Chains A and B, each alone.
Chain A
Amino acid sequence: MKPVIAAIDLKAFYSFVECLDRKLDPFSTPLVVCDVERGPGTIVLSVSPFLKASGVPSRLRKRDLPKRDDIIFAVPRMARYIEMSAKVVSIMLDFVGEDDLHVYSIDESFLNLGPYLKFYKKTPRQLVRMILEKIRSETGLFATAGIGENLFLAKSALEFEGKKSKDAIGEWTKTDVQTKLWPISPLSEMWGISGGLQKRLNEIGIESIGELANAPEELLIKYFGVIGKDLRDHANGIDDSNIREKYIPKETSLSNGQSLFRNYKKSEMPVIIREMSDDLALRLRLEGKKTGLVCLMIGYSYEIGGGFSRQLSLVKSTSENDIIYDGLLSLFRKFCEDKPIRRVDIAFGKLSFDDVEQLDLFLDSKKQFGKRQLRNALDEIVLRFGRDAVLRGSALLEESNVIKRHAQIGGHRK
């Protein structure tokens, strides 16, 4: 059966939710979702449709907001958005089976409508309209959609037509590509092309989507590998992805990173690294894994720029907080210069299952066992009573931010 893909996107999702929860009309309320306590450089997560219509871009920083005093600042509530998002996905699952749904982000999903059109006795557009109406009547949220014979066409129809059209639905076929996709510029407007990729495409003489579509495939593969092939296919409206073939990435590493709220001195950093490594080691243990490689990436302040990224193989794979921290700390001491620091990322690689333990000849096995038991008990307390139930004393230090971070989801307030 020919797939009919719909890409559905929630309009100005976070600010829409904030308006609805305040019983305000998103189309006449100047509201932004943005953590007011953070500096002027902080990102505005979402802009209400009213502000968008007045020309405010959807991605901007707080300092770039128009100077008007009636703007309502809503503090992000990620847990609430996740809850609303699940409600919307639940509505989508009233129409299609789980196999035919692909949740792409908190406010965007793809649905394969092909197998259901006969059952509903509807055209794709009619069925999508039904879904959008149900989302609206049950949650109050507005959604926009794109329809196409593959994921790329659906996504493009959504971006370039659905979001602008009166009925909030765009519908593209392969034959529309030449007239609707090729004229779009710059290249980075097309899904899958970042600013950097656009620059590299320009360097080999490709300036427009039409040129990309007609460029020799061998050339693109030579410069960009499989991505080059995909890009050329996309520009021709071709996408071989099958929504039913769920791609589950093999997790080969775990990582955790943060941009700090202020510049940190070198001497303040061990506390931060310890807190991040404790949290990531807990995630490691929850997945039943141990790590054989630790990586540390440090970014210096915005003014200075630069940083470093180094890794260290551990003698023996482990899931022990202390050994992991020692590895990270030795990297930090060895490579960090005495400059203000603004960004830290840590990662664990060479993951393996933590089911057997090699006893160490040179360590007291009783002590090792005791340590493990203590750690298991602490993990259990944290799992049962929350991440702040047991903390290191260092959480009280001025430089610590573990409690603040535990109150966040994806770096924003819960």
Chain B
Amino acid sequence: MSGRGMKKWLPFSSLEEQKPSLQQMKYEKGKCPKPKISSDQAEQIDEQLHDYKNKIFLITYYEDGYLLTLEERIKKVDCQSLLIRTESRTISLKNLINLQISKIIQ
């Protein structure tokens, strides 16, 4: 027979309200500063954005302290408001960290 293990050390559930605060703290703690991109990288992104049609990209962008990656097509590059629109979201160009072609659609 083995013992109850961590089950017996279950925290007091009476303070459910503590949970969101701990989650928020961990979220804040996980944040990193926005990476600086070199002029080479910027140029590379610029090049990719000139010819984005019929391609699926691995899009790495910075949002609220986190680096996120998305694998989607770019639907529109809005040069006036400096945004790109993908299938699911709108990303500001200044938050774009990396663009990599993952698939070319024939």
Nearest CB in chain B to that of A249: its residue: B10
Taking CB atoms and an 8 Å cut-off, the chain B residues in 1-59 that contact chain A are 1-12, 14-18, 21-22, 24-26, 29
Using A103-B22, A249-B10 as known contacts, say yes or no to A410 and B17 having CB atoms under 8 A apart: yes
Question: Could you tell me the distance in whole angstroms from the C-beta of B20 to the nearest C-beta in chain A?
Answer: 9
Using A82-B18, A86-B25, A410-B17 as known contacts, say yes or no to A247 and B10 having CB atoms under 8 A apart: yes
Q: Roughly how many angstroms separate A233 CA and B4 CA in the complex, as a whole number?
A: 11
Nearest CB in chain B to that of A239: its residue: B3
Q: Roughly how many angstroms separate A90 CA and B28 CA in the complex, as a whole number?
A: 10
Interface residues on A, range: 35 or more
User: Majority SS of interface residues in chain B?
Assistant: helix
Question: Could you tell me the distance in whole angstroms from the C-beta of A4 to the nearest C-beta in chain B?
Answer: 17
Q: Roughly how many angstroms separate A83 CA and B28 CA in the complex, as a whole number?
A: 13
Contact with B along A64-80 (1 / 0, CB 8 A): 00000000000000100
Question: Could you tell me the distance in whole angstroms from the C-beta of B99 to the nearest C-beta in chain A?
Answer: 32
Q: Is the CB of A78 within 8 A of B3?
A: no
Contacts of B5 in A (CB 8 A): 240-242, 245, 247
Across the A-B interface, how many residue pairs have beta carbons closer than 8 Å?
78
Q: Is the CB of A102 within 8 A of B9?
A: yes
Q: Roughly how many angstroms separate A110 CA and B11 CA in the complex, as a whole number?
A: 11
Q: Out of B3, B9, B21, B24, which one reaches A85, CB within 8 Å?
A: B21
Contacts of A230 in B (CB 8 A): 3-4, 8
Question: Could you tell me the distance in whole angstroms from the C-beta of B44 to the nearest C-beta in chain A?
Answer: 35
Using A86-B24, A98-B26, A106-B18 as known contacts, say yes or no to A247 and B7 having CB atoms under 8 A apart: yes
Q: Roughly how many angstroms separate A104 CA and B14 CA in the complex, as a whole number?
A: 12
Q: Roughly how many angstroms separate A343 CA and B93 CA in the complex, as a whole number?
A: 59
Question: Could you tell me the distance in whole angstroms from the C-beta of B17 to the nearest C-beta in chain A?
Answer: 5
Q: Is the CB of B11 within 8 A of A243?
A: no
Q: Is the CB of A110 within 8 A of B3?
A: no
Q: Is the CB of B6 within 8 A of A241?
A: yes
Question: Could you tell me the distance in whole angstroms from the C-beta of B15 to the nearest C-beta in chain A?
Answer: 5
Q: Is the CB of A86 within 8 A of B9?
A: no
Query: Which residues of B are in contact with A by a Cβ distance under 8 Å?
Result: 1-12, 14-18, 21-22, 24-26, 29
Given contacts A89-B22, A103-B22, A229-B3, 12 further A-B contacts (CB under 8 A): A93-B29, A102-B9, A104-B9, A226-B3, A226-B4, A230-B8, A233-B3, A243-B6, A247-B6, A247-B9, A247-B10, A410-B15
